[in-house]
Structure 1
Amino acid sequence: MNKTAEFFLALSAIVVFVVILGILYNFESIDREITRWKQLAETSQDSAEIYHSLSTAEQSLVRWGMDDGFAGIFKTRENDMTWKIAQLQLLKEKAERLSMIPGNSPEYSSTVKLLQEELKTLDLKAINYWNTHTGVGWWLAGGLFLYLGLFSFAHWNKDRSSFT
């Protein structure tokens, strides 16, 4: 057996497995973090908590670099992350204005309901952004190691073939 071919075959299998696990973990953890803050804002009745949750969701988007670019291969307004951030900031301003309304008034509860409905329609597309931008590099690296492994396997198999 060709030891180099076996080594690259084993290495590529391990690297592809680790890369795929890393991709899945990163996608899920980032999406979960951002979605958690958005859902907390959707369900809260307190204007300060809504404002804090939206601010934290915005900070998370910025921290992960999702404040610019597109959350899809096709550059549409729906995939434009700058527009999503602007929508989030607009909702954050509405939550800040909500804090000026007395909490026991009927206007407060109706405004909270309207804000929560607007939040439910806001799709921050965190997982789509991550797939489009960072995920491509991971897939290319995984594909390279898979190619090396398959090339090594083919080279090793050629040495063992009965047709030569």
Structure 2
Amino acid sequence: MHKFSEFTLVLSVVVVFVVVLGLVFNFQSIDREINRWKLLAQTSSDTAEIYNSLSKVEEGLVRWGMTEGYSGIFKTQENDMSLKVTQLQLIKTKAERLSMTPSNTSEYNTNLNLLQEDLKTLDLKTKSYWNVHVGMGWWLVGAFFLYTGLAALAFWNKDHSSFKQ
């Protein structure tokens, strides 16, 4: 039992470390490929840049498979990804139409402010989607091996305890 508990402890530490790295890497990738482009579009005052940034957001959603399904356990309109993509495409179309308006007019500034407000209210819920569809498996594997590692540590500690009676 002594060697098995040491092996299980080491294996658990390695797997939990890999799971944590995988979660951090995937969250950073989602943030870099989708959310940062949305933030750039949201803060930009150039409609061509807004359109290009929203195109990158849409490409990121397609690449991560976030164009359909739900970003929550319960299916609601709030977490329906196909509706989120449709909203994104409508905002992208507005940006394209706004780029045809002269930028020195008050109509342009008003519509640009409305476009930026639309972007602020658009919550893509990308990390929630990833957690529900892929990340849940990562969390379960990590929790299983963390529990296994703690159990192995308890058995190992019982064998090596200086308080034996």
Provide the TM-score with structure 2 as the length reference: 0.87
CA contact (8 A) 1:27 1:131 kept: no
1:62-141 mapped onto 2 (5 Å cutoff): 62-141=62-141
Deviating 4+ runs (over 2 angstroms): 143-163
User: Aligned letter for 2:62?
Assistant: V
Unaligned runs of 5+ in 2: none
Structure 1: segments with no counterpart, 5+ residues: none
1:71–1:125: 8 Å Cα contact kept in structure 2?
Answer: yes
Shift of 1:28: 3.1
Alignment pair present for 1:35 and 2:35:
yes
How many pairs are equivalent?
Answer: 163
Report SS of the residue matched to 2:123.
Answer: coil
What's the CA shift string for 1:67-87, capped at 9, x where partnerless? 111111121110111110000
Shift, 1:31, TM fit: 2.3
Contact map agreement 1:71 1:129 (CA 8 A) in 2: yes
Answering whether residue 13 of structure 2 is matched by residue 13 of structure 1, we say yes
Matched AA of 2:23: I
Query: Residue 47 and residue 9 in structure 1: after superposition, are their counterparts in 2 closer, same or farther (change >3 A)?
Result: same
TM-score (norm 1): 0.88
TM-superposition CA deviations, 1:9-57 (whole Å, max 9, x none): 1110221122123212311331243121111111212211111010100
> One-letter code of the match for 1:13?
V
Q: Once superposed, what is the RMSD of the aligned Cα atoms?
A: 2.1
Q: For 2:140 and 2:55, how far apart are their aligned partners in 1?
A: 34
Identity %: 63
CA distance in structure 1 between the partners assigned to 2:9 and 2:146 by the alignment: 8
**Matches of 2:89 and 2:6 in 1, distance apart?**
54
**Larger displacement relative to structure 2 (19-28 or 83-92):** 19-28
1:114 maps to amino acid = L
3-state secondary structure, aligned to 1:133: helix
